Chains A and B, each alone.
Chain A
């Protein structure tokens, strides 16, 4: 059973460009979470999604950031007009909807975004 997959693993963007980060959850998982890891700030929750539905976006910056989890395909975290401060590691996690395992989140390897 493949784990959570994220691509690309490394992404370099110039200031003002768009960044698209992809996350494929574990098989059978319908819940996806995005976190950002910044140096000196640790891990921060960004958004929690189910298929076609945003459940909690309390950690998302108000501007330039958006996330989706369509019925088919991976979850996408989109950052428009990137700035240097967006440079970070972005982690995706997934969990099943029901059962004991729904309390556990399984993480992907992350996408390391560098804005030049």
Chain B
């Protein structure tokens, strides 16, 4: 079975500071990894994904994440955050292939960017 742990439920940070949102996963099979962002009362928007290849993936809005297989982690980073980055961030994993496409989610990290 697959599972996802987001280590921080809330992360407060000042504008223009760097931020890291942590995500660990467990799986007995190869996985595909995703980060989504959810703004209040809206749906989920894909920030970035890891399917294979380079372990450093870049996404939208200046975010990037690094896949670390030995530590089973997929932490999300941004070197300088903006007020507009305030949102809920979700890490998710799927088996990806065939019928195993369902996303298993972490509980989310609430990022609050303060001026």
Contacts and interface: CB of A to CB of B under 8 A. Distances in A.
Interface residues of A, number: 28
B104 interface: yes
Interface in A59-116: 59, 91, 93, 95, 100, 102-110, 112
B48 to A, nearest CB: 10
B43 A107 contact: yes
Interface stretch (B16-24, B63-71, B73-81, B95-103): B95-103
B49 A45 contact: no
Nearest to B52: A103
B108 A48 contact: no
Nearest to A100: B51
A91 B102 contact: no
Contact of B43 (A58, A59, A110): A110
B105 A48 contact: no
26 contacts: A33-B102, A33-B103, A42-B106, A42-B107, A42-B108, A43-B90, A43-B103, A43-B108, A44-B105, A45-B103, A45-B105, A48-B101, A55-B99, A55-B101, A56-B102, A59-B102, A91-B43, A91-B44, A93-B103, A102-B101, A103-B51, A104-B49, A107-B36, A107-B43, A107-B45, A108-B43
B84 interface: no
A2 to B, nearest CB: 13
Nearest to A3: B43
Nearest to B101: A48
Nearest to B42: A109
A102 B104 CA distance: 16
Nearest to B107: A42
A68 B44 CA distance: 22
Contacts of A107: 36, 43-45
A55 B95 CA distance: 14
Given A42-B108, A93-B103, 11 more contacts: A33-B101, A35-B105, A43-B92, A48-B102, A91-B43, A95-B101, A103-B96, A104-B34, A108-B43, A109-B43, A110-B43
